[in-house]
Every structure is written in C-alpha cells, then in structure tokens.
C-alpha cells in the first residue's frame, strides 16, 4: 500500500507542477494583455485631462489671490504639482496618474463648494470663469467609459479564482477606475 502511494505521488507531483506552470504561463499572458489594454485606454485621456487641470490650476491661483490661503487651496496646489510632475516624467505610470486625477476631481468639487459658499470668492469673475472653463473641459465620456471598462475587465481577470494568487505572485496590482468628471452646472 505504501509503495502504491509513493508511485502515485511520484506520478502526480510532475503532473501538478506542469499544470501549475501552465496556469502561471497562461495567466501571465492574459493579465499582461488586460493590463496593457487599460494602459492603451488611458493614453487618449491624458491630453484632455491635462487641459482640464490647467483650468483648475488657473482657478486655484485666482482663489488664492482672491481669498488667501485655505487648506483646500494648499491641497489643490500640491496635487496639481504632482500631476504636472507625472506628465513630465519619462516613466509614466497610468495607475498613479489615475489616482492623482481622482484626487483632483474631488478637490475641484470642494473648491466649487467653497467658492459657492463664500461671498468673496463667488464674486470673483476670474475664479468663476476658470471654474467654468474647468467644468466644461471634461474629457469625452466615451473615453472615460472605455478606460473604466478596460479596468473592470482587468480587475475581473486579476481577482478571478484561478488567477488571483498568480496575479499577486507576479505583481499585477490593482488599477483604479477614473471617477467620471462632474458635468458643468447649468
């Protein structure tokens, strides 16, 4: 009986190792393809988002000039500088860019709320014009949707049961979706 178990183990171990190697090889290829699709869909979003954040930078400068330093303005200035550094970098990382873009979108919403709540800021024509330019410079919805769809496909592949541990082992990290920019107020 022990002899049979050893023979069975001797036969099963190579089969299991071969199956494991095949799973790693096919998973790596599939995950790489999905991650590359996310990166390809991000590429056309860079230019419209850069334009959008130039307007946000103008709005931030106008708000600083009009209302002095506030926590939101400091955060916006720092985050806009991070975005600009990422855009100048030779080693662009879409996942990092999306995180910063999402932070900027949230900070822009806060700036709009702060402006609307402040009599001094809401009377500043330069600030209002820059905010309007920012809000109307949203990237095309179809590009945002295509990127987010690619992220969803990648994340589903990355977290599926057979590939989950392979993704972790091979360093296929999460990719964030882009928070859709708020439409311009009517």
DSSP 179: P
- What is the model's pTM? 0.84
Model confidence pLDDT, tens digit, residues 147-168: 999 999 989 988 887 777 777 7
SS3 93: coil
Which pLDDT tens digit goes with each residue over 40-53?
Answer: 999 999 999 999 99
Segment 119-133 mean pLDDT: 94
Q: What's the residue count for the chain?
A: 186
Which pLDDT score, from 0 to 100, does residue 128 have? 96
| C-alpha distance across the termini of the chain, in Å | 81
Residue 114 CB: number of other CB atoms within 10 A?
A: 17
Per-residue pLDDT, averaged over 84-113, amounts to 93
* Alpha-helix residue ranges (DSSP H) falling in 68-140: 71-88, 94-117, 119-122, 125-136
Confidence bin at 9 (pLDDT 50/70/90): low
56-80 pLDDT, tens digit per residue, is: 999 999 999 987 668 999 999 999 9
Q: How confident is the model over 33-43, as pLDDT tens digits?
A: 999 999 999 99
| CA atoms within 13 Å, Cβ hemisphere of 56 | 32
Distance CA 87, CA 183 (A): 24
Rounded average pLDDT over 81-88: 95
Q: Decide which of 9 and 55 is more confident.
A: 55
Q: How confident is the model at residue 13 (pLDDT cuts 50, 70, 90)?
A: low
Q: Which residues of 64-75 are buried (b: 16+ CB within 10 A; e: fewer)?
A: bebbeebebbeb
Say what percent of the chain tops pLDDT 70. Answer: 84
Assigned CATH for 19-170: 1.20.1440
Question: What are the extents of the domains in the chain?
Answer: 19-170
Please give the backbone phi and psi of residue 46, each rounded to the nearest 5 degrees, phi first.
-60, -50
pLDDT at 24: 52
Residue whose tokens read 């790489």: 32
Our measurement of the distance from residue 71's CA atom to the centroid of its chain's CA atoms, rounded to an integer in Å, reads 24
- Which pairs from 142-148 meet CB under 8 Å and 24+ separation? 143/41, 143/44, 143/45, 143/48, 144/45, 144/178, 144/180, 144/181, 146/41, 147/38, 147/41, 147/42, 147/45, 147/177, 147/178, 148/177, 148/178, 148/180
């Amino acid at each position: 009986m022990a002899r049979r178990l050893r023979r069975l183990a001797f036969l099963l171990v190579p089969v299991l190792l071969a199956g494991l190697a095949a799973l790693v090889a096919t998973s790596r290829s599939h995950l790489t393809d999905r991650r590359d699709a996310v990166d390809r869909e991000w590429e056309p979003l860079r230019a419209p988002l850069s334009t959008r954040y130039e307007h946000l930078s103008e709005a931030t400068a106008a708000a600083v000039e009009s209302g002095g330093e506030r926590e939101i303005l400091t955060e916006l200035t720092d985050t806009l500088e991070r975005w600009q550094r990422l855009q100048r970098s030779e080693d662009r990382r879409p996942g990092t860019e999306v995180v910063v873009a999402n932070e900027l979108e949230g900070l822009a919403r806060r700036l709009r709320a702060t402006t609307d709540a402040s009599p001094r800021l809401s009377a500043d024509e330069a600030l209002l014009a820059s905010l309007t330019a920012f809000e109307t410079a949203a990237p095309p919805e179809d590009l945002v949707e295509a990127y987010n769809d690619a992220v969803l496909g990648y994340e589903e592949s990355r977290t599926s049961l057979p590939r989950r541990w392979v993704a972790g082992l091979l360093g296929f990290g999460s990719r964030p979706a882009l928070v859709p920019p708020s439409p311009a107020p009517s």
